[in-house]
Structure 1
Amino acid sequence: MVSAEEIVRQHPFDPDGVEWLVPPQPGDITVVDYDPSWPATYALLEDRVREALGDDVLALDHVGSTSMPGLAAKPIIDLDLTVADSTDESRYRPRLEAAGFALILRERAWHEHRLYLSDEPRAHLHVWSPDCPEAVRHLLLRDWLREHPEDRAAYAAAKRAAADRLREGGGLAMDYNELKAPTIRDILDRVFRAHSLL
């Protein structure tokens, strides 16, 4: 069982802790209005993952901005997948790749996170081991923003501002994440307090 202390602990991004299998490329970060087709797109991706992995799927959730009705987002579906051991890639990687998901990075120091990319439809599949605090945080943030329109609006504004700034000055997706991180931290502080985690 993941502890409250682990859930609330901040993990600053460490570029040296990332093993890129596909080097990141500068590109335009586009934030668009919410698309009501995103849940159906997630359902298609969910079926692909479950078909590929069967009982090795311990949990699978739609997370990230496309999972929050009314929230502007990059048009990329985020999925959180929990398997028995994210480091045991031989158990699940070949089947995910056969289903159209390519491994693009490993973050060994950050909960042994693995990130897979689907090009069609565009998706990020995050792979975790059980009781990962980051997966818990994703669900807490998702559920909070679904119910709190004022925080949803603040987050949308932060995302658009970050995308505009990168468009003007160039940068990578990781830079976009860092630019919107202060707003996420503020919202998570309210989430943690509401759940008596702080």
Structure 2
Amino acid sequence: MPTNEEITRHHEPDPGENPWVHGPPPAAPVVIVPSTPEWPRRYRCLAAGIRAALGAAVLDLEHVGSTSVEGLAAKDVIDIDLTVADPRDEDAYVPPLEGLGYVLTIREPSFHQHRCLTLAEPRVNLHVFGPGCPETVRHRLFRDWLRTHPEDRDRYERAKRSAIPGGGTVMDYNARKQDVIREIYDRLFRAAGML
């Protein structure tokens, strides 16, 4: 289990690192849609496929991100955190996932050895981390906080909608809502006695 200091630190990937395995994706408009009960059902189906493909290589699997929070509008993309023994050992998990249609898109050694595989239909971002990664803990804490704190869920939704104008990439959109995300993290960390 990571320490509180590791969990509460906002880790930034190395800006000199090129994370794109096949080059950056083309810019596309960010579209936010209303929350739907279809998202958790879709996650369960996707999780079953991942578990069947990887077997014991799956140490943990979690639905995270906005589609995991009932009532929160979001991009129609399911975010999943997959924990494996060693994300650097891509041969242990990438080929079976490619068999399901996933594509290795991001490799970020400087960011907890993060890998991201994407699925085009339905749209999925499958984030791969190793055991004891503080980022997976952060994702769960944020999800659970938004599930139980409607005022911050609404604040986050407003930030998401405000971040859409201006265009650019999804990374640009993410950067425009980062201040609100960090404010919410600060609140939840303090409430949990972690700061």
Kindly indicate whether the alpha-carbon contact (under 8 Å) linking 1:18 and 1:108 is maintained by their aligned counterparts in 2.
no
Kindly indicate whether the alpha-carbon contact (under 8 Å) linking 2:61 and 2:81 is maintained by their aligned counterparts in 1.
yes
Q: Which runs of 5+ in 1 are unaligned?
A: none
**Post-superposition offset of 1:13:** 5.0
CA distance in 2: counterparts of 1:55 and 1:112, whole angstroms:
20
Question: What does residue 196 of structure 1 align with?
Answer: 193
Question: 1:74-153, aligned counterparts within 5 Å?
Answer: 74-153=75-154
Helix, strand or coil for the counterpart of 1:16? coil
**Post-superposition offset of 1:165:** 2.8
Residue by residue over 1:174-193, the C-alpha shift from the partner in whole angstroms, topping out at 9 and shown as x without a partner, is 11111111000000001101
Helix, strand or coil for the counterpart of 2:106? strand
CA distance in 2: counterparts of 1:10 and 1:63, whole angstroms:
18
CA distance in 2: counterparts of 1:129 and 1:154, whole angstroms:
31
Q: Which runs of 5+ in 2 are unaligned?
A: none
Q: How many residues align?
A: 194
TM-score with structure 2 setting the length: 0.96
Identical-residue share of aligned pairs (%)? 52
Question: What does residue 24 of structure 1 align with?
Answer: 25
Runs of 4+ in structure 1 displaced over 4 angstroms? none
Residue by residue over 1:154-187, the C-alpha shift from the partner in whole angstroms, topping out at 9 and shown as x without a partner, is 0000001111232xxxx11111111111000000
CA distance in 2: counterparts of 1:85 and 1:13, whole angstroms:
18
Helix, strand or coil for the counterpart of 1:61? strand
Question: What does residue 40 of structure 1 align with?
Answer: 41
**Post-superposition offset of 1:150:** 0.3
**Post-superposition offset of 1:17:** 2.1
CA distance in 2: counterparts of 1:25 and 1:13, whole angstroms:
21
CA distance in 1: counterparts of 2:45 and 2:119, whole angstroms:
12
Residue by residue over 1:64-102, the C-alpha shift from the partner in whole angstroms, topping out at 9 and shown as x without a partner, is 000000001000000000000001101111011111111
Residue by residue over 1:5-29, the C-alpha shift from the partner in whole angstroms, topping out at 9 and shown as x without a partner, is 0000112354432321232211100
Q: Larger % of helix: which?
A: 1
TM-score with structure 1 setting the length: 0.95
Aligned residues: CA RMSD: 1.0
CA distance in 2: counterparts of 1:13 and 1:133, whole angstroms:
14
